[in-house]
Structure 1
Amino acid sequence: MKIIITGATGMIGEGILLASLAHPNITEVLMVNRRASPLKHPKLSELIIKDFTDLAAYSTQLTGYDGCFYCAGISSFGMNEQKYNFITFYTTIMFAKELAHFNSDMVFFYLSGVYADSSENGKIMWARIKGKTENALKELHFKATYSFRPGFIIPLKAQKNVRLIYKGLNLIYPFVFPNKTLTYDEIGTALMRTLTLGYNKNILEIEDLKLIARQSKRYK
């Protein structure tokens, strides 16, 4: 399978990228980045796109893929709603719309967040906008779309883009909240199985990702 990944220079995107490169069913990975990444791998190639809302010039490079893991994004901390909406909702939807035009048989995965607000009416700004993005993606013409809400993830040793706070939390959180903690092996396994076989829900919560990962190992 051939996949596209965005946000590979961020912590979660980098972890999913490394898990994808290690997966035997993934033959090619295309990183779509705004800035170059130093990572090299035989399966890996890179495409630099400064403006994710305009992919017209890159149709050839973005055609012929089975899946996309959209992990690009930004923290809402210190941001006003208008700017956060542009980056989180508008940019994501514009990117996805054009990608669906190039790859109608693609499965699209969106990195959302725990407590994203599917009603779009809650008081928390980032949760409303994440929920609005999830809802809009379901209307696009992909083979399937999934929004995954992973919560706390144990960083891989090979990761470079890990915030200091996560290194500290990694010593505590997995032991105090094991049911709310995922490994990149679990996420990678769950996403690859969903990419291949599908799932009966569009929103993948922590418990769904854990369940799918267990099912995948059970049937190996």
Structure 2
Amino acid sequence: MKVVVFGAGGMVGTGVLRACLLDEEVRSVVAVVRRPLGMGHPKLREVSPADFADLADVAGEFAGADACLFALGVPSAGRTEAEYTRVTRDFALAAARVLLPLGEHLTFVYVSGASADSASTTMWARVKGRAEDELLALPLRTYVFRPGYIRPRHGARPRSLTSRLAYGATSWTYPVLRRLFPRHTTTTDAIGRAALAVVRRGGTGSRVLTSADINAAATEKALS
């Protein structure tokens, strides 16, 4: 399969990209990036659009794609709702819409967050909830991932200094969190494997996945 990945340089996107490059069924990956990833792989091609809200200049690179895994995001702290909406909602919708001509067979996976809700009084949850609603309304095979606590693995880490410090300060709690709240924790690896699993499902199963669902989906290939 051919997979398009947005956000491959971020924490979650690193896990998604790694899963794609390791998967024998993925023949090629187009990573849509702001800056070079600094890595080489025979499956990987990087493209950098002039504007993530208008992908017309790179749309030709998506021909023949079977899936788009959208893991692009930014922290909401220190940003206005308009700024956060541009990346979280506008960029995601631009990606989905440029892929519409490829047909309903294409699977679009949007990595959102636990508690996302368009009616929420919390800004980040409200924006992500609106993005989910609009993506699910498009004529694409769309899945929404709502992970809770995410443990970065295999070199994955947040881009922002604030997020890196936060994860560094709390990483030691992951074994405890996993033991106490197994349904609310996952890893960057699991998200990547689960994203490919739902592509293989062919439109079956729930379209909104929690951490527990993500962890279960991540094991599907091994069990098939």
Question: Common fold, TM-score beyond 0.5?
Answer: yes
Q: 2-side partners of 1:38 and 1:90: how far apart?
A: 27
Contact 1:3/1:26 (<8 A) preserved? yes
Structure 1 segment 203-218 matched on structure 2, within 5 A: 203-218=208-223
Contact 2:10/2:157 (<8 A) preserved? no
Q: 1-side partners of 2:167 and 2:204: how far apart?
A: 30
For residues 187-219 of structure 1, what are the alpha-carbon distances to aligned partners after superposition, in whole Å with 9 as ceiling and x for unaligned?
A: 233222210114421111111112223444333
Is 1:57 equivalent to 2:62 in the alignment?
no
For residues 77-130 of structure 1, what are the alpha-carbon distances to aligned partners after superposition, in whole Å with 9 as ceiling and x for unaligned?
A: 01111222222222221221112224542100011011101xx22211111110
Is 1:181 equivalent to 2:178 in the alignment?
no
Is 1:159 equivalent to 2:129 in the alignment?
no
Aligned length: 216
Letter of the aligned partner of 2:170 in structure 1?
Answer: L
Q: TM-score, normalised by structure 1?
A: 0.89
Q: 1-side partners of 2:170 and 2:200: how far apart?
A: 33
- After superposition, the Cα gap between the structure-2 partners of 1:200 and 1:104, relative to the gap in structure 1 and judged at 3 Å, is closer
Q: 1-side partners of 2:156 and 2:124: how far apart?
A: 26
Letter of the aligned partner of 1:186 in structure 2?
Answer: A
For residues 144-194 of structure 1, what are the alpha-carbon distances to aligned partners after superposition, in whole Å with 9 as ceiling and x for unaligned?
A: 101101222222234365724323422222323341222344323322221
Q: TM-score, normalised by structure 2?
A: 0.88
Contact 1:174/1:181 (<8 A) preserved? no
Q: Which runs of 5+ in 1 are unaligned?
A: none
Q: 2-side partners of 1:194 and 1:58: how far apart?
A: 25
Structure with the larger RCO, 1 or 2 (CA within 8 Å, 6+ apart) = 2
Q: Which runs of 5+ in 2 are unaligned?
A: none
Runs of 4+, deviation exceeding 3 Å: 158-162
Q: 2-side partners of 1:190 and 1:37: how far apart?
A: 23
Contact 1:3/1:66 (<8 A) preserved? yes
Letter of the aligned partner of 2:48 in structure 1?
Answer: I
Q: 1-side partners of 2:8 and 2:148: how far apart?
A: 18
Q: 2-side partners of 1:91 and 1:215: how far apart?
A: 30
